[in-house]
Amino acid sequence: MTGKVYLVGAGPGDPKLITVYGLECIKNADVIAYDRLVNKELLKNARETAELVYCGKEPGRHGLIQEEIHELLVKEATNGKMVVRLKGGDPFVFGRGAEEAAVLKAANIPYEVVPGITAGIAAAAYAGIPVTHRDYATSFAIVTGHGRAEKGNDFLHWEALANGIDTIAFYMSVGNIRHIAGQLIAHGRDKNTSVAIIERGTTENQRTITSKLESIADRIEQEKVVNPALIIVGDVVDVREKIAWFEQMEETIR
């Protein structure tokens, strides 16, 4: 009998932020193929006999590794296994989950998608930043900011982003922040717009740095920000001054 593949979102970092269903999938899996950003704590819930396969994506080797992952999912499910494909955050937010679903569909293998909490919302929340707010923001966009103009792969609609969206969460963007901030300002966003950078969001090593659009690139260099990190642009960043909680949290019962 054919097995089944579960494309599961592991949540943003804090292992408690996985869904009940996601955790159930981990507990029942024969094979767990997990990504680099998945909190390894979660794997302790796997059955002793479960096979754990690390699918870390090294930059520059994307194509090949993704192919291998597809082959693994199809092979194991064809052999009747219950396979969990565990991805950081949500599997359909910059997670290539849809590509894997398409491969499974084509191979006639049953699958389910188990959503997860995406980093852009969760890391912001742990930094005391609501992505929408009655007084500050009525729209929110999730954007990948790794496109470089000089490489010809910056396809973002900067005019619309700068003027039409209140809060923008930039994923995969730390190395490209000078270009991003410059484009937003050049297309009309106020250079004094608040920006937050959240490093290792929702983990015990979370660090949040705030600045203004015109100075954020320098701050990121000075502070030697490491990945994974997210950039939140918008007035909602100022709400942090009033409601930040995570970094100040005393030892409390969780």
Give the residue numbers marked as catalytic.
35, 57, 172
Q: Which residue is it, tokens 């994923």?
A: 171
Choosing from 94, 111, 136, 140, the residue that interacts with ligand SAH (CB under 6 A) is 94
CB 189 within 8 A of CB 235: no
Site string for ligand SAH, 21-50 (x = CB under 6 A): ----------------x-------------
Dihedral angle sign, alpha carbons of residues 165, 169, 170, 174: positive
CA nearest neighbour of 233 among 151, 175, 164, 152: 164
In the region spanning residues 104 to 123, those forming contacts with ligand SAH, defined by CB under 6 A, are 118-119, 123
In the region spanning residues 209 to 228, those forming contacts with ligand SAH, defined by CB under 6 A, are 227-228
Give whole-number Cα distances, 32 to 21, 47, 100, 182, in Å. Answer: 15, 10, 15, 41
Choosing from 95, 115, 128, 234, the residue that interacts with ligand SAH (CB under 6 A) is 95
Q: Is 12 in the site for ligand SAH (CB under 6 A)?
A: yes
Judged by CB under 6 A, the number of residues near ligand SAH is: 23
For the chain, where are the alpha helices, taking DSSP H only?
A: 20-28, 62-78, 97-106, 119-126, 158-164, 177-186, 216-223, 240-243
CA nearest neighbour of 192 among 174, 208, 210: 210
Q: Is 55 in the site for ligand SAH (CB under 6 A)?
A: no
96 versus 189: smaller Cβ distance to ligand SAH? 96
Q: Which residues bind ligand SAH (CB under 6 A)?
A: 12-13, 37, 87-90, 93-95, 118-119, 123, 171-172, 198, 200-202, 227-230
